[in-house]
Structure 1
Amino acid sequence: MAETRGLLAPQTDAEVRERFEALGPAAQTVTREVARAMDLSKEAYDERVTSDVVGTAREALFASLLAVTVGDYDEFEAAQDDYPDADLYENGSADVDRAAWHYVPFADALVAATFQNEPDAAVATLRRIAFSRFYQDVL
């Protein structure tokens, strides 16, 4: 049976930007705590933890929170019926048993990654693909 992983499924460009902006403080906190765990001195922190670093953390957080459905390949094929006009971006082979997919409403696109045995890897790959192909352009 298919399962959904993740929390974010923004419907519009504006909602994408709103959710992304809301992750700013969390990205700063995560970055600061990771630097603390690495025992970076204040000087090293100020020198190495730039706005680009925090921005990368925010992008990674956003992508890692995208809602993804994981199921068998037949469930993925059935899910395509829910988005009859969507452009399909399938990554991987149709000759495997499972798939992970994410619908991007503002682009009317269904993005998928197929897999046989590694759902966590497929979900992570799918999120990176969806973020770089669709969400990054909105941001």
Structure 2
Amino acid sequence: MDTEGTLAPETPDEAREEYDELVPAAKVAVREAAKAMEFDREEYGERVTREVIETVRDALFASLLRVHVGTSEEFEEWLDSHPEYESDVAGSENVERVVWHPVPFAGEGGVAVAATFHEEREAALGTLRRRAFGRVYREHVSTGDDGENGTVEDGGDGTDADGLEDEREGDDEQSGTDDREA
């Protein structure tokens, strides 16, 4: 059995904190993608919405979840040693490998969200992380319309959508070069 990923929130509050900390990274990822696609100010303003940045933040959070990878037997042993967890498995029972992510605050005493796989480890990891986010974390970290858990417009770093646009424009106009070449 091996483990990969870094996020393993123990409580809903810890999940929200981890999620909120990803706002700056999501904004940078979106800004760099828009720069690579050569969006001008108008196109950036039209296409880079709050929803786009939140989607990137959701994907970043899910991609960082700590996941165990092992055999079906190892998963069963893990469940036996954690009897308080209920199992939520997607996939066939007739395959030998399982990826799982335990969420201690979900359900009655925790939920082990899992997916089975035969050969496609990376696909199983992606499936599991999306399932864990959608089935457990989304309801605890979602900002909703009121933007309470860290808004995209004010990601806690003093920038907003226009600030991102101005920053890109400044790179091109002031230096005369594209910073991707550096």
TM-score for both structures, normalised by structure 1: 0.97
- Answering whether residue 7 of structure 2 is matched by residue 5 of structure 1, we say no
1:110 alignment partner in structure 2: 112
Q: Which runs of 4+ in 1 moved over 3 A?
A: none
Unaligned runs of 5+ in 2: 142-182
1:124 alignment partner in structure 2: 126
Once the two structures are TM-superposed, the CA of residue 91 in structure 1 deviates from its matched residue by 0.6
Amino acid at match of 1:20: Y
In 1: Cα distance, 2:69 partner to 2:95 partner: 13
2:86 alignment partner in structure 1: 87
Bigger-Rg structure (1/2) = 2
- Answering whether residue 49 of structure 2 is matched by residue 50 of structure 1, we say yes
1:73 alignment partner in structure 2: 72
In 2: Cα distance, 1:69 partner to 1:39 partner: 39
Amino acid at match of 1:12: T
In 2: Cα distance, 1:82 partner to 1:103 partner: 13
- Structure with the bigger percentage of strand: 1
1:24 alignment partner in structure 2: 23
Deviations 1:24-47 (CA, angstroms, capped at 9, x unpaired): 000000000011011111110111
Secondary structure of the corresponding residue to residue 105 of structure 2? helix
- Answering whether residue 127 of structure 2 is matched by residue 135 of structure 1, we say no
In 2: Cα distance, 1:52 partner to 1:82 partner: 40
Unaligned runs of 5+ in 1: none
TM-score for both structures, normalised by structure 2: 0.74
Give the number of equivalent residue pairs: 138
Once the two structures are TM-superposed, the CA of residue 82 in structure 1 deviates from its matched residue by 2.8
